[in-house]
């Protein structure tokens, strides 16, 4: 096992529905250390940069509309095998297929409005953390 960082987003629907505290409590209960946290309202330009690999895909306009509809919470999490463990805590991308007790099962509404985001690899974690946080932002 190795200590690593991962990037997470509590998406607009979970913020709007008042689930930030519940999700943060689950993160802490799972043993993650919060190294960075900020609430932000994403713009279309920020989304295009963050989701650059998806901009030309058919689902991108809906994704951008959703991610810019309200505030989100941006997180840098740290812990043993943080990337895999965060993905397990989130659950399957589609809340209907997510395991009971996972965040997406509890707080997700649909495949596109699934309450949380998490990095899928060490490379994406490094890119995503640095996209939203500078070294001075992380504790």
Q: Which residues are catalytic?
A: 117
Contact between residue 15 and residue 73 where contact means Cβ atoms under 8 Å apart? yes
| Cβ burial 59-94 (10 Å sphere, 16+ → b, else e) | eeeeebebbbbeebbbbbbbbeebbebbbebbbbee
In sequence order, the β-bridge partners of residue 116 are 10
How many residues appear in the chain?
Answer: 139
């Amino acid at each position: 096992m190795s200590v690593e960082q991962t990037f997470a987003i509590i998406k607009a629907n979970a913020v709007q529905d008042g689930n930030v505290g519940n999700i943060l409590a689950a993160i802490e209960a799972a043993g993650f250390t919060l190294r960075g946290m900020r609430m932000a309202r994403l713009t279309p330009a920020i989304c295009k940069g963050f989701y650059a690999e998806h901009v030309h895909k058919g689902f991108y306009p809906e994704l951008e509309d959703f991610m810019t509809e309200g505030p989100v919470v941006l997180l840098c999490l740290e812990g043993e095998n943080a990337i895999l463990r965060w993905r397990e805590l989130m659950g399957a991308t589609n809340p209907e297929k997510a395991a009971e007790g996972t965040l997406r099962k509890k707080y997700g509404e649909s495949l596109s409005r699934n309450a949380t985001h998490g990095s899928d690899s060490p490379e994406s974690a490094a890119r995503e953390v640095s996209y939203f946080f500078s070294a001075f932002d992380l504790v």
